[in-house]
Structure 1
Amino acid sequence: MHKVLLIDDDMALTDLLSDYLLQQQFDVAVANSPERGLKMLKQLDYDLLLLDVMMPIMDGFEALRQLRQFSNIPVIMLTAKGDDYDKILGLELGADDYLSKPFNHRELLARMKALIRRLDSNTGFAAAKKFSLHGIQLDEASHLVSVNGTSIVLTGTEFHMLLQLMKHAGQLLTKDQLSEQVLGRKLAPFDRSLDMHVSNIRKKLAHHGATEIIRTVRGNGYMMAAPSE
């Protein structure tokens, strides 16, 4: 049974959502404040975090900033406004996915299962490989990534995005393909999540000297420069 932490100050919602997720065979813990949730995340291991944005004292964005200093747990942000700015900021800070309130519980469940499937796939290392390209070293089994000899920290989604691009260096990967392979779902119209994940990866690579490695094929998708380039 996978362990999920839900951080939201809306007790009525957390009660309803907890009951639903328990019925779906998840082990659910609840924190009604980010401060409490961060303490729980330091004390116990969870497989997935559901994080609300609009909370008093400390909002979800600040909680995510602090979280990413010590954990790469997959995070789905729950945004009340459905504002593009909120979604983009959450992804820039390291969220794996987002869902606007009010949301359909089945849609949330589908996104949770997609991240969990990716998590479970990491336990089978028989076919795991090491990749080295353009100064980037990626170990599929350990999830360690370095650029020109310096280790970098990627979220789970960023790691899998980079992995797919390195596996298919020199080949175009459409946004539809990347969404299915990395996010585990079909790409929705006007969904900016893939673009933001790629942007985050580019910034982290460029910080250590790997620039112009991931190319945008306008209107289609992304590709990593071929090994010979």
Structure 2
Amino acid sequence: MQPNTLSAHLQLSPAQRWLELLRPWLLLGAYVFMAGLGWWWLAVPLAVAVCLSGFVQMHDAMHQALGLSKAANKRLLTLSGLLLLKSGHGLQVTHLRHHAHCLQPDDPEGAPATWRFWRVLWQGPYHILMLRRESLRMAPHTRRIQWLETAATLVLLAVFVAVYLWWGSLVGLVYWAVAFVMSATLPIWAAYLPHHLSEHNPAVRASAATARFWTPVLASFAFHHVHHHYPRVPTALLPRAAAELPPPPPHEHP
């Protein structure tokens, strides 16, 4: 079976698709509700969950793995990117380059995986800005939507500040702070660790076992090597793909 030719049971059912589509937005509603009550001990973890689930949704949209029409997929890519205060189309450009030239000199997204860990720590927070620049350079035909998405993130930030100044509410600014921290550390948890921990690492094996209970965030970490070979498999179904499809060649995933 070729990576882009999947059987029906490795595609989301309608119920599974709705779950994948709604999860980050339901979590966002829960965050707003808890933050509005001032229950920050629940609201902040919920904000982290929103970012992680938004990342998974955006990632599946990048690969058109959710079974949506092309137009609907593009809209979802924009919206899920905004959950992370990022340009979804911009990140798609560098992510697809990563799949085509994994950890090669012309793979800007994968660059942190080739650095020493201390460099990832101090340079990682600036890496996402470099990716924005590289995506504009590599895909001039998508510059308009990238700039529109960038403008939308700035508008959101302005709204968060205005809400604080006018009503004294920290709901938006706290969410922005969580999204900023998640972005600053993204080179660690989305690039360095997946490419440095083998599938036999105890942490990866534990994540793989847990991911079988429908935890797409853990699946994206535990089955990163499977995703590289079968990118059209939705993240939530990677455990099934790992169990049923031929394993990727050892040399394929650095």
Structure having greater relative contact order (Cα 8 Å, sep ≥ 6): 2
Identify whether the pair has TM-score above 0.5, normalized to the shorter chain. no
More strand by share: 1
TM-score (norm 2): 0.25
